[in-house]
Structure 1
Amino acid sequence: MTSESGVAAARPAVTPATRARYRRILRFAGWNLAVTWWYELFLPRIGLAGVAARTRSRRMRRFAQRFHVLAVDLGGLMIKVGQFMSSRLDVLPPEITSELAGLQDEVPAVPFPAIRALAESELGVPLEQAFASIDAVPVAAASLGQAHRATLTAQTAEHTGLVGVVLKVQRPGIDAIVDVDLAALRRVGRWLSHVRLVSDRVDAPALVEEFARTSLEEIDYLHEAANSERFAEEFVGDERVAVPSVVWERTTRRVLTLQDVTAIKITDADALRAAGIDPAEVAPVFAEVMFDQLFSNGFFHADPHPGNIFVTPRPDATEGRPWHLTFVDFGMMGEVPPGTRSGLRKLLIAAASRDGKGLVDAIRDIGVLLPSADTAELERAMTHLFGRFGGMGFAELREVDPREFREFATEFGDVVRSLPFQLPENFLLIIRAMSLTSGVCSALDPSFNLWDSVEPYAAQLIRDERGNVIQDVAQQALEIAGLAVRLPKRLDALVTRVEDGSVAVTSPRLEQRVGRLERTARRLVAAVVFGGAIIAGAIVHTGDAVLGSVIMIASVIPLGFAVFAGRRGS
């Protein structure tokens, strides 16, 4: 996105309606930031932490209720914010998540005449010519658009191989609404940039800009259609995942026509059981699919809330799982750069193995911690955290005595707060995707233990990485061998300089020491050759057992030299 477009988005057309919307969002944000500062920062500093604790539940509920009213009233990006909070079952209190859960389905629909007018303007023909039939009652109403079931004409159906489709149309005037919401969020981001507690750890304006970029991409349906096809390619042949086909003949920037894949909403436990599907079996499969996107493919669905994931029964399946997951709505997608993906894989492996130091190293590799950070105390904190709470599911964590969490926060809170954290590009979307994933899994199975999915996945990653590890070891062996080969030449040059008098010898034992060092270097070369032969033999053995065995047997020669040459010269 160019800087010019960003400036344009920051200055939407000013009308009485947009001005009122803008001010209402800022009033809500300003008031709640002030209330949070008063209760959570100021009162504890003057010894009134008990007052904040006693009123916290009531304040949370009141905040959620007011935000619910605001989001439904305004729509637009406020719905997106509410959907995100409602899915954070793992970290946010039920006073907030339960109150905002209805935002997944509560968005009011746009009257069909307005939808018809926009669709016909985009397609350039009356809807009766574009489709054989269309249902005026929407199948879904979302924050940025709404969907209607339709039937393709015979000619289009023959060309595409589809009959039933879903026509997704943008809400009229959504461009202006998104511009106003982003302008308000940019103002809130600037407020937060002046709060030292926030600005020392995160670049709030940069995060808003990242959110702005994804939001503007989300209202471009051509972009979403391309994302859908790319996502489908990532899972070709994977029986766990299905993706609706795009009808390009009936798709524009504001109108998107897709194959009708409507099935059971992933969190509709009653419907799943009625179809003979155990919700507890769906959770680990969904987590595994999201892990694949984040840690292997690098192209992931950044908005996997319950309204965007269906469970589709497969009654005709003769083998394998009798259902699959169907993903829809690819407007908000994220990409994980190779470097970040490698760091995430290390982080997952470290978390599965309860390795506090490895976890901190992975966080540093990802770029969340600045290179200058002193992480010794953080490593100790992570080790302590794994030792006490590692392996617990979210349901188990909720049953832990709150005093234990407070003790941990007291002991290590200052350590974490003092570290220079930052969020790399696209990391906000990664956090969002993982947050929504954990929330959906907890809704499917309250006793769902994330470790049960992390550990086998991490084990698979370790097996996948084994070949890379061998390559890394071989590379390091070559580097050491190069150094070891050059070292005797340098020692010979040094001896020559000593002999010709260009180096003054001040110790009668120098020549003896140089000789010992030269013998040590030659033993090092032999040891490296032995190690290289063993590694090469092991690699070759998988394809040619005879040749691999010969190479490994031959490695005994440099091993013998490394062992016995030193004894003769000592």
Structure 2
Amino acid sequence: MAESRTDPDAGASMDDVDAPASRSRYRRIVRFATGVMLSTWWFEVVLPRIGFAGVAERGRTARLQRISRRFRVLAIELGGLMIKVGQFLSSRLDVLPPEVTSELEQLQDEVPPVPFDEIRALAEAELGVALGRVYASFDEVPVAAASLGQAHRARLSADDERIVGFRDVVVKVQRPGIDEIVEIDLAALRTIADRLSRVGFVARRVDVPALVEEFAATSREEIDYLHEGVSAERFGLEFADGARVAGPTVVWERTTRRVLTLSDVTAIKLNDVDGLRAAGIDPAEVAQTFAEVMFEQLFGAGFFHADPHPGNVFVTPHAPDAAGRTWTLTFIDFGMMGHVPPELRAGLRRIVIAVAARDGKGLVAGIQQIGVLLPSADTTELERALTELFARFGGLAFAELQDLDPREFQAFADEFGEAMRELPVQLPENFLLITRAVSLTSGVCSALDPGFNVWHAVEPFAQRLLREESRGALTDAAKSVFSYAKTIVGLPVRIDQVAARIDRGELAVDTPEIERRLDRLEGMLRLVIAAVVFATMAVGGSLLWTAAPPLAVTLLVVSIVPLLIALSGLTRRRGRRPHRRAHRSPHVTARR
């Protein structure tokens, strides 16, 4: 690598950029991003402040369309990480206008393939043998060309087929020189992040350089096919049940860091609405199931596919299974997988439950728990705004939201923006891939079904989470109660031991009042034990009323027994005054 220097055009360190072609690539990315930032600042900040908000508003769609068209051309020419950025934006149907997404969605299929001679040379160098000796056949025309590699259909040799049990495979081969391209793109992104971090509004809310480093780590993992193979196997173990979810099998004998051989699972592309209908599959049902599957990965297991765009998920038709299902979601491309730490997952689960319950206060608490809002934030206005959001728009599908009066949306956006503007917001670590996965899921589901209702998708999953939380809370409460009960149960024995020592003259007490109090304490502890058992059963029955009604009824009925014991004991103590003869002494001593 060349020594550190400064690019006069970009104005940033270029430690990772060496050859003239690399410097040119670096400059083009930085210049484009800088132009977009300046354009956004002028039209979205300056013009509204000097009274030309209408001008900025009227030209916004055309301006975004021009920017997206220029970016698409740039991404196709450069490839690399620029393609992945465009693919991500193309799936944001929920927030970007169709004029923008229609331009960028072409990047899903428009990535130019690498000439086969280059692919053959790299693959043979990696495998250490000619392709004709490793595979019985190898299709020179790629089945898919992606930003970091491309895939070719092939057939295993007879020997390999006997070992793995199948013949048809897809072989992924990295694009030659992709390691260097990724490092150049990351260098450009670091420059852009550095410039954004100097903008006070952005710096107060997002650690952009940290996000770039998180993206860098993910990108380097994605170009390591050994890492992808391990992730594919883990995904299969955790999610591929063969009914709702499936995945490919890794052929490890024909896999290296730059070549990955998988069983061929290609089928109907996830967003191919016409193909789904031709196969007798309801796109709306696919959208609902896809959302549920992604919710399970994100908020349940905490290990999730972070790049679920339509090119990475197939719908595989099959004969009706035991449940009557005639298709399966088949995931591929496990280079970009995300992990959710336990604390963050707990906060995300809390958010899901709050959204399903239309609970503005609970949603704010969840947002604080995952670290988006700092603990010191005054969230009163945000809670009010979210409560109004749920009251007005909660339960509406994507298509219904599009039919609402834009002025109503604008009025709420202004009010919500005012509530958020002064809050100390930040983007926590481990959140970039989560945001990506949620955004892609939302966009894909909206494309499959314009009437897709995220509320209907969230509610069943949230109810399950709530039942799990309730059982967990009951278990924790029971453990605490029985721990206390164990201590309480042991106290009367110790009290009897102390009393016995007094009777034997081993312990002298100077007043009979202490003995009377010991007797009262012993009786009260027995009553407390009965009351604790009653409370445990009653609370447990209440928590399990929805999840397990028969068990709940049993607990509530049986809880009457310790309640009667507690009440009868209390009645007896009111009519009884225990007394024990004391051994008097001017002081308390213990004889050994």
Same fold, TM-score > 0.5, yes or no = yes
**In the alignment, which residue of structure 1 is the partner of 2:246?**
242
Q: Match of 2:173, SS?
A: strand
Distance 1:546 1:526 in 2: 18
Structure 2 residue aligned with 1:54: 58
Q: How many residues end up aligned between the 2 structures?
A: 537
Q: State the 1:204 CA deviation.
A: 0.6
Instruction: Tell me the residue number matched to 1:161.
Output: 165
Greater Cα shift, 409-418 or 98-107: 409-418
Matches of 1:564 and 1:460 in 2, distance apart? 46
2:560 pairs with 1:556: no
Q: Which residue of 2 aligns with 1:256?
A: 260
Q: Which aligned pairs between 1:170-249 and structure 2 lie closer than 5 A?
A: 170-249=174-253
Segment drifting more, 523-532 vs 105-114: 523-532
Alignment of 1:399-414 (within 5 A): 399-414=403-418
Amino acid at match of 1:555: L
Cα deviation for residue 265 of structure 1 reads 0.2
The question of whether the paired residues in 1 share the 8 Å contact of 2:242 and 2:328 is answered with no
* Residue pairs, 1:328-407, within 5 angstroms: 328-407=332-411
Structure 1 residues 270-322: Cα deviation after superposition (integer angstroms, max 9, x where no partner): 11111111111111011111011011111100000000000001136464201
Q: Which of 103, 113, 119 is matched with 1:115 structurally? A: 119
CA RMSD of the aligned region, Å? 3.3
Q: Which has the larger radius of gyration?
A: 2
Maintained 8 Å contact 2:287/2:452? yes
The answer to whether the 8 Å contact 2:194/2:209 transfers is: yes
What is the CA–CA distance in structure 2 between the aligned matches of 1:249 and 1:31, rounded to whole Å?
A: 48
**TM-score of the pair, normalised by structure 1:** 0.87
* Residue range with higher mean Cα deviation, 455-464 or 34-43: 455-464
* Structure 2 counterpart of 1:300, from 292, 299, 304: 304
CA distance in 2, matches of 1:400, 1:167: 48
Matched residues in 2 for 1:169 and 1:83: separation?
20
Counterparts of 2:575 and 2:421, CA distance in 1: 56
Give the structure 2 partner of residue 509 of structure 1. none
Separation in 2, partners of 1:91, 1:286: 19
- Cα distance in 2 for partners of 1:107, 1:566 equals 87
* Secondary structure class of the residue paired with 2:153: strand
SS in 1 for 2:59: helix
CA distance in 1, matches of 2:100, 2:576: 77
SS in 2 for 1:168: strand
CA change 1:536–1:297 in 2 (3 A) is: closer
From 299, 309, 324, give the equivalent of 2:328.
Answer: 324
Structure 1 match to 2:536: 532
The alpha-carbon deviation at position 477 of structure 1 amounts to 4.9
The offset of 1:214, in angstroms, is 0.5
Secondary structure of the structure 2 residue equivalent to 1:256? strand
**1:146 equivalenced with 2:150 (yes/no):** yes
User: Taking structure 1 as reference, are residues 200 and 479 closer, same or farther at Cα in structure 2, changes over 3 Å only?
Assistant: farther
Letter in 2 for 1:434: V
Q: Which amino acid aligns with 1:435?
A: S
TM-fit CA distance, 1:414 = 2.2
**CA offset digits 1:215-235 (Å, max 9, x no partner):** 110000000000000000002
Match of 1:440 in 2: 444
Tell me, what secondary structure is at the counterpart of 2:330? strand
Distance 1:551 1:521 in 2: 18
Q: Describe the shift of the 1:529–1:262 C-alpha distance in structure 2 as closer, same or farther (beyond 3 A).
A: closer
Q: Secondary structure at the match of 1:555?
A: helix
Measure the CA separation in 1 of the matches of 2:265 and 2:465: 32
1:68 aligned to 66, 72, 78, which one? 72
CA distance, structure 2, for counterparts of residue 36 and residue 174 of structure 1: 31
Q: Structure 2: 5+ residue runs without aligned partners?
A: 1-12, 491-509, 511-522, 578-592
CA distance in 2, matches of 1:134, 1:436: 33
**Whole-angstrom CA distance in 1 between matches of 2:256 and 2:48:** 55
Once the two structures are superposed, the pairs formed by residues 449-528 of structure 1 within 5 Å of their partners are 449-474=453-478, 477=481, 527-528=531-532
TM-score (norm 2): 0.84
Tell me how far 1:197 sits from its aligned partner: 1.2
Q: How many Å apart are 1:133 and its aligned residue?
A: 0.6
On the 8 A contact 2:533/2:562 being kept in 1, the answer is no
CA separation of 1:25 and 1:546: change in aligned 2, threshold 3 A: closer
CA deviation after TM superposition for structure 1 residue 10, in Å: 7.5
The amino acid across from 1:336 in the alignment is V
> 1:386 Cα shift?
0.5
Q: Structure 2: how far apart are the matches of 1:88 and 1:475? A: 46
User: C-alpha displacement at 1:363, in angstroms?
Assistant: 1.1
Q: What secondary structure, in the 3-state scheme, does the structure 1 residue paired with 2:377 have?
A: coil
Q: Distance in 2 between matches of 1:386 and 1:378?
A: 12
**Residues 528 and 86 from structure 1, CA distance in 2 versus in 1: closer, same or farther, beyond 3 angstroms?**
same
CA shift in 2, pair 1:87/1:553, >3 Å = same
Deviating more after overlay: 529-538 vs 283-292: 529-538
Name the residue aligned to 1:312. 316
Unpaired runs of 5+ residues, structure 1, are: 1-8, 487-499, 501-518
Bigger fraction of residues in helix: 1
